[in-house]
Structure 1
Amino acid sequence: CNQIRIQKPHSPSGVYEIQPTGTSILIKVYCEMRQTDGWIVIQRRSGGVVSFDRGWAQYRHGFGSLAYDHWLGLEKMRMLTKDTTKVWTLRVDLWDYGGGHAFAEYRDFRIRDEGTAYRLHVGTYSGDAGDAIRGAYPGIDQNGAGFSTFDRYNDNCSPCIQGDIAFDSCTDNHGGGWWYSSCGSAALNGDWHSSDNPIFWGSGLHWLTWKPMTYSAKVSRLRGKQD
């Protein structure tokens, strides 16, 4: 998307067909075009119409509508970021129920192959939402974690403890697939909650260096950009 924006500066936001570097495969993505750059939308959450409580195969392939709430797909993320000569940035945007906004950006964003459970790698953090991927406290670093779903656990729970509650997997407690590491401080694929009931302890859209576990974001968006 960023290359499209550079070559054709007046390109509008929308669905585009692109070819990841080093592949012969064309994939469809939503490009969010800004004044100075273009981003691929990896995840968008803004309501409860699209369920994110899905298994491995669907998280691998992707689901939802590219122009609305969706998950791009782990395999597409891998193809996009696999060329180590290219630098990718991951940006996380979060909105609360009062209209507040926060963001986190990570340089050197990559997703490894399925044999590693699509392991997440991020580099230097910047932003005002806090570095939730590396954790609000020691021992829950999600950088380097594999992806987990309700039918495939890679979360290091044996069991995991939250308060006085023990559970066998983070997806059982948080809902939705994610790069869990003893659950961790970041989890944006849980159940979406309306503004009528934003406070709870269970599944939600969590970024614990921004808001406490009792709060779920109203809107989240994950985007990737190649320099």
Structure 2
Amino acid sequence: MFVGSFLVENREELGQLRLVKLSLKTESGNGCGNVKTNTSAGSSSTSKDVDSEVQVAAAVEFTQAVQAVVADAARPQLSLASNSIADLTLRYNVKKPESNLYNSTTYQAAQGYDCSNIWQKNNSATSGIYMIKPRNAICSFKVYCEMSENGGWTLIQKHNGEDNLDFFATWKEYQYGFGDLKGEHWLGLEYIYALTHQTQRPSKLNISLGDFDGNEAYAEYRSFSIGEAKKFYKLAAANYSGTAGDAFLGFSNIPGSREHGSYFSTWDNYHDNCHEVCGTGDEKYQSCSDQYQSGWWFNACGLANLNGVWHAPPRHLHRSTSVSWPSWKFAESLKFSKMYLIYN
């Protein structure tokens, strides 16, 4: 169950200070996406409800530990091995210092399974940050809900350059999320897994895109889910409709461009199909994530890459590291992308 975050680590690999998210592990110990389902009975069963006295007591203990660390402000950088939080069972994730993606150190009850569920309970609900607990998930977590007269959409990615958020992130960051829920962010693969594996709540993916000329387009997949961590969050997207084209499908004349069924990769943990080497001519590389400076469902390497580097005009054309959805804009870095999960 997530309960808080605090600045505790400087990651030298990227040369910038980040936030380390600290969260209590549940009994299964593998993150919010873990699911325990009683399929024979046709119903789901979670390890422990987030409202249980045991987990609330654990949250209080963790909050007290965080407060103790905050009080020790004399040290500009803290070590997990030398502070009181080290006595707790921790999961960490490195993030930018301006991030408030997971900034609550107090226990909060879930307000629904997802944003669609919250809207179904209250059609007048407004857009903003909500605490949710998907069916079968073992923890609650915060998301940004975009509410309209048509329903509630759960935002899992937003990339528009406004926060200068660096998406060239580690495996742990992509697992547990980074950025600001009110601005640019990646929700986290563990949480996306939980959201796409709810009993009797199939999820749709809606991708909203915009270019620098004011044009907008969308791609929607009526069936969308990702695999669990041990399967490297394998992409499953089907039944496309929309105006932006199916960039996951790739182009038949470009080998390795299809991303349907691909595994997620980051620069420090890649599962693409480069094998020994990718590239053409003199440009050779062994990691799509490293080459295109993002985490994504790369093939070898594929074409779509909504977590790519944000480039402003006039330097947004013909950039390999771009925010890319080439079935709509082939050689152009996009102004924005937003990825939503929707439930009927």
TM range (shorter): over 0.9
Partner of 2:45: none
Query: Which protein is bigger by CA-based radius of gyration?
Result: 2
Give 4+ residue runs of structure 1 displaced > 6 Å after superposition: none
Query: Conserved in 2, the CA contact under 8 Å of 1:136 and 1:208?
Result: no
CA distance in 1 between partners of 2:326 and 2:267 (Å) = 22
RMSD, aligned CA: 1.5
Partner of 2:257: 140
* Pair 1:189 & 2:313 matched: no
Match for 2:257: what amino acid? I
CA drift of 1:107 comes to 1.3
Query: Conserved in 1, the CA contact under 8 Å of 2:136 and 2:199?
Result: no
Larger relative contact order, structure 1 or 2 (CA cutoff 8 Å, min sep 6):
1
CA distance in 1 between partners of 2:171 and 2:138 (Å) = 25
Query: Conserved in 1, the CA contact under 8 Å of 2:206 and 2:220?
Result: yes
One of 157, 167, 172 as aligned partner of 2:285 = 167
CA distance in 2 between partners of 1:84 and 1:181 (Å) = 30
Match for 2:258: what amino acid? D
* Pair 1:60 & 2:175 matched: yes
CA distance in 1 between partners of 2:299 and 2:293 (Å) = 14
| Ranges in structure 2 where 5+ consecutive residues have no aligned partner | 1-114
Query: Conserved in 1, the CA contact under 8 Å of 2:144 and 2:182?
Result: yes
- CA-to-aligned-CA distance 1:62-116 (integer Å, 9 cap, x gap): 0000010000000000111113632110011110000000110001111110000
Query: Conserved in 2, the CA contact under 8 Å of 1:206 and 1:216?
Result: yes
Query: Equivalent residue of 1:38, what SS?
Result: strand
| Ranges in structure 1 where 5+ consecutive residues have no aligned partner | none
* TM-score normalized with structure 1 length: 0.95
Partner of 1:217: 334
Partner of 2:222: 107
Matches within 5 A, 1:60-99: 60-83=175-198, 85-99=200-214
Query: Conserved in 1, the CA contact under 8 Å of 2:256 and 2:301?
Result: no
Match for 1:68: what amino acid? G
One of 222, 240, 246 as aligned partner of 1:125 = 240
CA drift of 1:161 comes to 2.3
Question: Are residues 24 and 168 of structure 1, via their aligned partners in 2, closer, same or farther at CA, if it must alter by over 3 Å?
Answer: closer
Query: Equivalent residue of 2:204, what SS?
Result: strand
Partner of 1:29: 143
Query: Conserved in 2, the CA contact under 8 Å of 1:156 and 1:181?
Result: yes
CA distance in 2 between partners of 1:112 and 1:172 (Å) = 22
Residues paired across the two proteins, number: 226
Query: Conserved in 2, the CA contact under 8 Å of 1:175 and 1:204?
Result: no
Query: Conserved in 2, the CA contact under 8 Å of 1:195 and 1:218?
Result: no
